[in-house]
Amino acid sequence: AGVAAPAVTQFERSISDGGSEMACFELIQLPDQPEGRFNLVHHQTPDLLWQDRFLHHQNNALSLEAVELTVTEPLATAARLSRLLGCPAVPDPREGISLELARGRLRLTEGDGPRVTRLTISTSDVSRPAMEIGGSEAGGVALQFTKSG
């Protein structure tokens, strides 16, 4: 993908206290990039990770739909990440450049960075209106909740 990387590392860990089921991963820790540290993870045992007991959260979050990353050079970042992730970088209708991933979207905007500025989260909570929590209330990151479906 045009980015130097060390060898793949194998990891495993128990998925329960004292249990014998081991979740297995392959990990590539990329050299630090201007935007920060990126790790590529391949879940070798998705059936152990995606169990119903792990998929319910108090905030009713279902999935992370989008991450907005503010960077000083969005075009250069988009080109590098596009090669790395294997997906095209396209103009985003809201602002900046987007990379459409298999699950979700990475939006790059220009500004002082690098820093994550927004997370969009899909929720199953039908009683919760679509809402946004401002960055001052969430460690500097805007949290945008949207209804699933």
In tens, the pLDDT along 59-80 reads: 778 888 899 999 999 999 999 8
Handedness of CA 45, 48, 52, 53 (dihedral sign): negative
Q: How far is CA 105 from CA 49, 67, 118, 131, 149, in A?
A: 22, 6, 12, 19, 16
pLDDT score, position 127:
66
pTM of the predicted model, to two decimals? 0.76
The pLDDT value recorded for residue 111 is: 92
Residue from 20, 18, 40 nearest 30 by CA: 40
User: Would you say residue 131 has pLDDT above 90?
Assistant: no
pLDDT at 59: 72
Residue 133 binned pLDDT confidence (cut-offs 50, 70, 90)? low
- pLDDT score of 79: 92
Residue 16 confidence class, pLDDT cut points 50, 70, 90 = confident
What's the pLDDT score for residue 88? 94
- Which of 133 and 80 is assigned the larger pLDDT? 80
Please tell me whether the peptide bond between 114 and the residue prior to it is cis, using omega within 30 degrees of 0: yes
pLDDT at res. 23: 92
